[in-house]
Structure 1
Amino acid sequence: MALRTLWRRLFGKGDSATPDAAREVAHLRLRIQELEAQLEQARRHAEYARQTEHARATAAADATLETLLTELATPLSHLHAQLHLAEQGALPPDAPLKTARHLFRALEAWQVHMEGTVGAVEPYDPERHMPLRADAEPHAGQLVIVRLAGVVYKGKRLRKAGVEAHDGGTHRA
């Protein structure tokens, strides 16, 4: 009999407690709607914050890159013109080298460094060196000749130095 009474109170089958239960259900439904609205507002706020942070980070990266490129623009422009003039025979062939040195100094100010000296004989280190020929990978410690310097940015190796096996004889730089 108690189950029937409870059933009637919950589902309104003629009991005097039904209006109280209906009010409670209506109140709970309203509370659920309020919480759902708060949740949706929190989701919108989080998405806005994510988009705002992404825009801020992108703007900061763009500003940093623009600063770097602004510093490099003059030496790049000079180097480009000098290469063209050297190819035409209207400029001494070593003129672009002076501009290239200026370019490397500008990069060093941004913590970009060349690693390895072209022509140097060094023990092969797979962490620092990359063979220039795929069919001739030296073993660790084997003497190699640096043919292309590597590139390091803030301590992170962006490109390994290009090397060839050293045959023990004289070598060209």
Structure 2
Amino acid sequence: MITPRRLAATGLLPILVIYLSILPVAAEALFTTWTHRAAQPMTSDADVCCGPDSMNPAVSFCCGGAVSSMEGLTSDQMLCCDGVAFTNAAGNLACCGQVSFNTETEICCSDVVLPLGTTDPANAYCCGGAVIDMTDYWCCDNNPYPRGSSAAPPIGQNCNI
């Protein structure tokens, strides 16, 4: 007898499955309706799965189970941030939660994008919801302290060096 588990293992998605049995059963047990969306068929040997759809990875990008067109770009020029696709042609974007940001002009602090201003990205650090330049400041318990000043953080604070 074909059971739902055996049928599912074949990869087929039936609209109606009829069970026949020599034992008496309730009428509602004779019919099971599956309403799953049918998978999109593969159109070439190069296709791969993306969620329920198939796609050609040479021209499409899979992000969060959804297919996005690369519009002449390569997959290295695409970015997926928590299921949201972005083009990254210049290669200078990174993810901050579901948004992208420019790593040359911005920093991500606790899923919030902040401008770097005049701070060199290599020296930028998030401290208490603000951006500090690590060459000029250090951060202790989310408070910035100027380096080389007499204002030192209290002993026992958690500080970056």
TM-score range, shorter chain: under 0.3
- The structure carrying a bigger helix percent of its residues is 1
Q: Which has the higher contact order (CA 8 A, sep 6+)?
A: 1
Per the normalisation by structure 1, the TM-score is: 0.25
Per the normalisation by structure 2, the TM-score is: 0.26
- The structure carrying a bigger strand percent of its residues is 2
